[in-house]
Amino acid sequence: MSIYKTRRWEKLRKKILKRDRFLCQYSLRYGKRIEADTVHHIFPAELFPEYIWCEWNLISLSNEAHNRMHKRGSHELTAEGMALLERTARARGLVV
């Protein structure tokens, strides 16, 4: 069963959206206030299962911004997704 279909995920997803004021955090970096409809794992859940439930690893994004973070078919991070991962890793003192 996918974590995205669990009650635990739905509760955490709502918490993150509320934490981020339902605004796309990527767009806010550029001064734009766009509604968020997705919660994104900065460190991909498939590659970093130890960070799946960590709030610091989750960010509210618009669907458009989310599509810019990784390729939809393969889930491989794009350059923008990798840059976000690297910024987060540096801020948390993690080695990637």
Give Cα 6 distance to the centre of its chain: 17
pLDDT digits (tens, 9 = 90+) for 46-85: 999 999 999 999 999 999 999 999 987 787 999 999 999 9
Question: How much is the average pLDDT of 34-38?
Answer: 97
Specify the pLDDT at position 1. 65
Helix (H, G, I), strand (E, B) or coil at 79: helix
**Among the listed residues 30, 23, 55, the one whose alpha carbon sits nearest the alpha carbon of residue 41:** 55
